[in-house]
Amino acid sequence: MTDYFQPEDDTPQAAIAAIGEDLALFDDWMDRYEFIIELGRKLPPYPAAWQDEAHRVQGCQSQVWLAAQEADGKLYFTGASDAAIVSGLVALVLRVYSGRTRAEILATSAQFLRDLGLIGALSTNRGNGVAAMVERIQEMARAA
């Protein structure tokens, strides 16, 4: 059984606030990038068999794969990327959305990525890619 990302925070809003606090510990974006890359290294292992088109997130410059499993009325996600910084962005997104109800996922827009300064600090392609990850997660939440 694959390890799905377990939430550290009680709500998506608490996760977003905690990520903001974590990022604020660093004075510049180079240090923040290192922190984000380190988050990606801590992701649960992602099965090689799931690195396929069915799990691939369209719209990402790098290869990104996401999978979901429902348990106890909540969706749990796992993900991976072939790029270190993008793996870290996957970890940030999963911290916000994994282990949440469908309603919580759908009520949490990708705006937090802008509010935290992530979209502005990333290249346009990476920014579009992380937004595509959130859209894919919300599509999975909408699916019955």
- Do the domain assignments include residue 5? no
Per-residue confidence (pLDDT) for residue 14, from 0 to 100: 98
What's the pLDDT tens digit per position in 79-103? 999 999 999 999 999 999 999 999 9
* CATH assignment of the domain containing 94: 3.90.1010.10
Does residue 104 lie in a domain region?
yes
Count of domains for the chain: 1
**pLDDT for res 97:** 98
Q: What is the 3-state secondary structure (H, E, C) of the chain?
A: CCCCCCCCCCCHHHHHHHHHHHHHCCCCHHHHHHHHHHHHHCCCCCCHHHCCCCCECCCCCCCEEEEEEEECCEEEEEEEECCHHHHHHHHHHHHHHCCECHHHHHHCCCHHHHHCCHHHHCCHHHHHHHHHHHHHHHHHHHCC
What is the distance between the terminal CA atoms of the chain, rounded to a whole angstrom? 22
Do the domain assignments include residue 60? Answer: yes
Cα(68)–Cα(83) distance, integer angstroms: 21
Question: Which of 60, 80, 83, 110 is flagged as catalytic?
Answer: 60
Confidence band for 144, pLDDT divided at 50, 70 and 90: low
Question: What range does the domain containing 110 cover?
Answer: 12-142
* Segment 120-143, tens digit of pLDDT: 888 888 888 899 999 999 999 999
Scanning the structure block, which residue is given the tokens 């925070």? 9
Whether residue 1 is predicted with pLDDT greater than 50 in this model: the reply is: no
Q: What per-residue confidence (pLDDT) applies to 49?
A: 93
- The answer to whether residue 100 sits within a structural domain is yes
37 belongs to the catalytic site: no
Look-up: residue for tokens 């799931």?
Answer: 50
What pTM did the predictor assign?
Answer: 0.93
What is the chain's length? 144
pLDDT of residue 124: 83
Q: Is residue 7 part of a domain?
A: no
22-79 residue pLDDT tens: 999 999 999 999 999 999 999 988 999 999 999 999 988 899 999 999 999 999 999 9
